[in-house]
């Protein structure tokens, strides 16, 4: 009888150990899940390029507003140079003006490069349509001429072909 009580006590002891191990594992699992979520959000923040750039730009703008102003002014001058072409210097204002046409710079060159494929495609399609219409018109004229001058080759009615049907001709006997 004592052994049975000892075995039950041993079972209870093992069951308590099992429960304590489960609780430890559950607590460790929760800690690991929390650490994984934190590292995942940290990695997402490192990978999120727009958020990273916007935060760096904001901090740079607040730290160095003068540099940003100078940079934007230079950028505006460069864009103006590209779109409008050459700008006359101050010395040439007091000289007699030259009769040269103003250069509109790279902007019109880029616009021409962008429009060229569209214009080429438009011209090719128009030429294709004109040639197709001429061929169709020529075929119609040829057909009208053929029907007018060779009436015997025109389409015959079904009655005309009835005599050639095999039902109307019995097979020849050898």
Neighbour-count burial of 107, counting CB atoms closer than 10 A to its CB (0-12 exposed, 13-18 middle, 19+ buried): middle
Residue 28 lies in a domain: yes
**pLDDT of the residue at 25:** 94
Residue 43 lies in a domain: yes
Residue 13 lies in a domain: yes
Of 18-27, 93-102, 132-141, which gets the smallest average pLDDT? Answer: 93-102
Residue 30 lies in a domain: yes
8 A C-beta contact, residue 110 and residue 83: no
Q: State yes or no: pLDDT of 24 exceeds 80.
A: yes
Structural domain total, the chain? 1
More confident residue, 134 or 61: 134
Residue 120 lies in a domain: no
Residue 37 lies in a domain: yes
The parent domain of residue 8 ranges over: 1-47
Residue 31 lies in a domain: yes
Residue 121 lies in a domain: no
Q: State yes or no: pLDDT of 46 exceeds 70.
A: yes
């Amino acid at each position: 009888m004592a052994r049975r009580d000892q075995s039950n006590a041993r079972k209870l002891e093992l069951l308590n150990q099992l429960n304590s191990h489960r609780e430890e594992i559950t607590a460790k699992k929760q800690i690991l899940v929390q650490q994984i979520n934190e590292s995942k959000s940290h990695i997402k923040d490192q990978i999120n390029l727009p958020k990273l750039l916007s935060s760096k730009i904001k901090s740079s703008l607040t730290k160095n507003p003068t540099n940003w102003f100078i940079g934007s002014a230079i950028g505006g001058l460069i864009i103006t140079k590209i779109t409008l072409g050459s700008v006359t210097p101050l010395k040439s204002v007091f000289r007699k003006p030259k009769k040269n046409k103003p250069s509109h710079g790279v902007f019109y060159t880029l616009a021409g490069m962008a429009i060229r494929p569209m214009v080429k495609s438009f011209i090719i399609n128009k030429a294709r349509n004109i040639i197709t219409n001429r061929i169709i018109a020529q075929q119609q004229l040829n057909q009208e001429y053929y029907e007018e001058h060779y009436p015997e080759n025109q389409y015959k009615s079904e009655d005309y072909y009835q005599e050639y049907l095999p039902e109307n001709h019995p097979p020849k006997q050898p």
